[in-house]
Amino acid sequence: MGRRTLVVTAIAVIATTVGASSADATTRLTKTQYNAMLKRASARIGKVETAAETGLGSNATRARLRTLILAWANTETQLGRSFRSIQPPATAASGNALLARGEITFGAELAHAANNLPHKRTAIGAYLQRTLGNAKGAAMIDRALKKLKAAGYGGSG
């Protein structure tokens, strides 16, 4: 689906974990801890994103697609809240704050799209491309990920 797929793929490469909300917000995370969170979240986002994209490529019903997209939206929102609740390494603070806002915004955009799917199954793909192709949240996430990568976060280790 073009840009949306690229941005979402970038999200899957670098994201944080929903479990981060249980971290002590007064304790600054180390670079290793933060990168581990990013890696765990990447797997989580990858699962819900892949499920939604698989549903779009199949003969899934409108109701099933709505469920899959809402699961993705909920995961994005949970990730955003997790980013917001932690104290990342100082060099990741700016990127982390932008990432938190982007995740929450993108989650809301996905939920809105899911709750307004066209009734004709054949129109859903075009609707999602039009609605999410230039999503503000996805653009924020993309900028945040570039910032984090430039600061040395989200590497393969």
Residue-wise pLDDT for 107-137, tens only, equals 999 999 999 999 999 999 999 999 999 999 9
With respect to residue 20, please indicate whether it lies within any of the assigned structural domains.
no
In a domain, 85, yes or no: yes
Please check whether residue 16 lies inside any domain of the structure. Answer: no
pLDDT class of 25 with cuts at 50, 70, 90: low
pLDDT (0 to 100) of residue 11: 42
Tell me whether residue 94 is in a domain: yes
In a domain, 156, yes or no: no
Residue 83 lies in a domain: yes
Assess contact for 96 and 83: CB atoms under 8 A: yes
Query: Does 112 reside within a domain?
Result: yes
Comparing CA positions, the residue from 107, 102, 111, 110 lying closest to residue 83 is 102
Domain containing 100: what range? 3-11+28-150
The tally of domains found in the chain comes to 1
Q: Flag the least confident range among 39-53, 64-78, 107-121.
A: 39-53
